[in-house]
Structure formats: C-alpha cells, structure tokens
Amino acid sequence: MKINEKRLEERMNRINSIAVTAESGMMRLALTDADKEARDLIVSWLEEAGMEVKIDDMGSVYGILKGTNPDAKPICVGSHADTQPNGGKYDGLFGVMAGLEAIISIKESGKRVESSLILVDWTNEEGARFVPPMLASGVVSGKFDSQWVYDKEDVDGIRYEDELIRIGYKGQKENRLKGIKAYFEPHIEQGPVLDAEGKNFGVVTGALGITGLDVTIKGEANHAGTTPMSHRKDPAAAAAEAISAIRQNCIDFGDPAVLTVGVINARPASKNIVPGEVYFSVDLRYHTDEGMTELEEQTKQIIMEICSKYIVSVDIARYWRADPASFNESIISCVEDAARENNMNYIRIISGAGHDAVFINEVMPTGMLFVPSIKGMSHCPQEDTRWEDIVKGVEITADVLLKLDKADV
C-alpha cells in the first residue's frame, strides 16, 4: 500500500533534529527532555490524525484508531523512540514512525478495518539510562514489577518514576496494552546479514535465547620470577586456553550460535604476580531451548576439563537465562505474504538482539520485520538504512496490518 513518503521523511527528520551530538548521533535517552520533546510530537501527530491518546503507568504512549467492529480485538504496532547515547537515527524510531505512517495511510485510504489499530511507543527500551532494557514492555509482559521499575535510578541517582512525573508522562495502569489480536514491531536489523546477502527485507521468525555465565578460576598467586613454569597453578593460562576453546566450539556448533567473553579480570592484578584468581563472563545465544542448553553444557565441560589440566579449581554460575522466542506463525505468514506481494528480495531471519517484541511475545501473539542496516552498523551515528528500504518497510507494515485484520491469529 502506498504511504505518504514526504510526510514520513519530514516527521522522522523533525524528531531526529531534537538532540544531535557533535558526531551527528542521536541523544534521546529515556525520560529526558529530548525524549519528552519526541513524545510531544508523536502525541500531536496522533491527535492530528484523530486518534485517541492513552498513557500507561510506565509512560508508554498509545494512539488508537477505532475499528469498525467493536467486538474485534485490536492490533498493535510500534517500537521505541528512545536511543542509546550517541545512537543512530533509525533504531526504534523507524518502528514508531512506520506504525504511525501506516495507520494514518490506512485511514486516509478509506479502507474498512474491523480491528482498532494501536500505535505504541514503549518507554526505556534501550536500557541506556535506566538498566536493564525493555522496562516498560517487561512490566506489560509480567516480567518486572512496576514498583521495582519506578525505583530504578540513573547514574545521577534520579528515579524512573520521578522523571516520568517531571516530563508529564505518568499515566494509568488500566491503559497498559492488553487483550490484543497481534503485536507487530518493524525494526532495523542492527546486524550485517541482510546487507551482506544483498537482501532488502527480513521476515523475523524469532529471537535468540541468552544464557549468561560467571566463570571464576582459582589457582595460586605467586612470584612471577621465582616460580618455575612447572610449579605454577596459573588461572590466567587456564582461562586463556578455555576462552579460545569455547569460542571454537561455538563456531563448530554452527549458526546462529554466538558466544562472547565480554569481561575478564585477574586478581590481584599485579604485573609481577602469577594471578590467584581469574574471572570471565560468557554470553551465549541460540535459537532453540534444547540447543542453547546443549551449548551451555559443552561450554561448561570444556572449561572444567581445561581447568583440571592446569590443576586449578573453577566455579561456573549461571547469572541470566532468557528463553529463545518463536514468533506467532500466522503473523510470520502475513509478513512473508506481504513481502512476496511487494516483490521483496527477502529471507527469514532470527533476531540476535533483544526487542520489546521478545517480551510481548510471551503474553500476546507477536511478529516483527527487519529492514537492512548498511554494513550492519547500529547504536552509533553511522547506523543507516537506504531510504527506499525504509519506505518499503513502512508500506509493508501497512499491508501487514490489513492482513492481520483479516487473519485468524
């Protein structure tokens, strides 16, 4: 379905001109003045389109276009307008503006839509100001308690709830998203796959699960000069071999498995002491429950075997597990049909990143689409998507909403 490309461009540029860094990055951290300015604009556009505006107790903004059938469950579309510090111009905002422009274009086309169409802008998706990410969708999906979120503080000790009140976006609990037929989130890929494979569209089938491990290896701290190599119990040597072995194991496990060691610390951290203890983190991700458990077991086994070879002890604790997400099959079909009818060069793809859609998927039928990120860059000023891919993504968003209205989800 054709959309108003000029309006889309003007409105995106308007929001992306609010808080621009010296490197041309975006700086709309959640619940700051810049976030408020973006929200105010979105609300004004919703009102201009004759949509009813509601705010929930977490500050998420909803705009509702009434459907023709009061008994039909609503369909929700959207994403988040907050950014990382010095972030990109499309992460999050694309989904909000795609949803908004799609709903308005459907209204202007005069097409009969039975379901009410709801646009959502989720609060604090990025987790850049208030940790962890996806706080508002986490409350809606029952993952987080609202008081726990209210008490979250930024680095300056400023509370989430106080900022919500300050910018005038503390709404009511009864306005939270519920009872919908489908939630649909358009997003940029934030990875290199579509661009590298020359595809212009991604039908998202789910998201990788995440397992986080804390690995602590204990050996014997000793003098770096007087301790011969044969007499050492060196946790750094064990860690080095373990990290390289679990990485190779992940590669052998095959796509889409990924494994990251993001933190390494040695104690006592002196340049002339064989360390007594080494800590490293492991973040591993996979798209099936079974596979993720298997990869976790293999990873632990490899670490333990290497540690016993080095005569050091090891403690491995799991600090985090998020189950892999599989999106709703009917919604995936609607997205795939819309891609085919628009002659897109598409593939089915699994998201490696977390999104509000991953939380919402646990309680409501959910789906996503990806537009390509040039060179896979994201969370930085270089983040970019070809304009024709943005426009196509919005047109397909409108087509998906119309298909969902007719579909049995």
Closest separation between CB of residue 92 and Zn ion, Å? 4
Q: Which residue is nearest to Zn ion (CB)?
A: 92
Our CB check for Zn ion shows the closer of 92 and 365 to be 92
Q: Return the number of the residue (91 or 395) whose C-beta is nearest Zn ion.
A: 91
Output 92 or 372, the one with its CB closest to Zn ion: 92
The footprint of Zn ion on residues 16-35 (CB under 5 A) is: none
Shortest distance in whole angstroms from residue 91 CB to Zn ion:
4
Minimal distance in Å, beta carbon 80 to Zn ion?
Answer: 6
- Comparing CB distances to Zn ion, the nearer of 116 and 137 is 137
Footprint of Zn ion on residues 61-100 (CB under 5 A)? 91-92
Q: How far is the CB of 271 from Zn ion (least distance, A)?
A: 41
What's the residue count for the chain?
409
Least distance to Zn ion, CB of residue 95, Å: 7
CB of 242 to Zn ion, least distance (A): 33
Closer residue to Zn ion (CB): 55 or 188 = 188
- Rank residues 92 and 206 by Cβ distance to Zn ion and give the closer one: 92
CB of 312 to Zn ion, least distance (A): 41
Asked whether position 163 contacts Zn ion by CB under 5 A, the answer is no
Q: What is the 3-state secondary structure (H, E, C) of the chain?
A: CCCCHHHHHHHHHHHCCCCECCCCCECCCCCCHHHHHHHHHHHHHHHHCCCEEEEECCCCEEEEECCCCCCCCCEEEEEECCCCCCECCCCCHHHHHHHHHHHHHHHHHCCCCCCCEEEEEECCCCCCCCCCCCHHHHHHCCCCCHHHHHCCECCCCCEHHHHHHHCCCCCEHHHCCCCCCEEEEEEECCCCHHHHCCCCEEEEEEECEEEEEEEEEECCCEECCCCCHHHCCCHHHHHHHHHHHHHHHHHHHCCCCEEECCCEEEECCCCCEECCEEEEEEEEEECCHHHHHHHHHHHHHHHHHHHHHCCCEEEEEEEEEECCEECCHHHHHHHHHHHHHCCCCEEEEEECCCCHHHHHCCCCCEEEEEECCHHHCCCCCCCCCCHHHHHHHHHHHHHHHHHHHHCCC
In the complex with Zn ion, which residue's Cβ is closer, 221 or 360?
Answer: 360
State in angstroms the smallest separation of the CB of 392 from Zn ion. Answer: 19
Q: Return the number of the residue (138 or 235) whose C-beta is nearest Zn ion.
A: 138
Residues near Zn ion, by CB under 5 A: 91-92
